[in-house]
Amino acid sequence: MFLSLFTERERELFYTLSCYLVECDGVITGEEKTLLGSFKVESSDQILEKIDETPNEIINELSLSDDRIKNCILLELISVALVDNHYTENEKCIISKVVENFNISEEKFEEIFNWVVGLKEMYSKIFELVEI
């Protein structure tokens, strides 16, 4: 959704961190694969591949981005974590590290988290209404 706002480096780092988030529970679902694929489609001007940096290195570098970008990254990462309807302890740990290193307040985190949950609920209702 927001990848067009990111620099090429931010997209590369974000994509790799998203891959780590998807892989951290040991199970990669179809929904997670689809979401990662959508990031590649959204970044059509750049080939996204997982880079060889640790999650901590990525989070530290992304923490240098401006606040608007950090909020967008957090929103997208929460979407990644919730796409399969299983918010695991490992995912919570990565998200918490992002929130801490990005210096995002608990109130802002809750606002973004609740917005993503609400959006997921709206999409579920849409699919129910059109019987998909």
CA distance 124 to 129: 9
CA distance 39 to 49: 11
pLDDT, residue 43, reads 79
CA distance 78 to 98: 10
Please give the model's pTM, rounded to 2 decimal places. Answer: 0.89
Residue with tokens 């570098």: 61
CA distance 70 to 72: 5
CA distance 75 to 90: 17
pLDDT, residue 1, reads 67
Domains of the chain are 3-129 (1.10.3680.10)
Q: What is the mean pLDDT of each run of 10 residues along the chain (132 residues)?
A: 85 95 90 88 80 95 96 96 93 97 97 93 81 69
The set of residues, in sequence order, having a beta carbon less than 8 Å from that of 121 and lying 6+ positions away, is none
pLDDT, residue 132, reads 60
The set of residues, in sequence order, having a beta carbon less than 8 Å from that of 106 and lying 6+ positions away, is 99
- At residue 17, what is the residue type? L
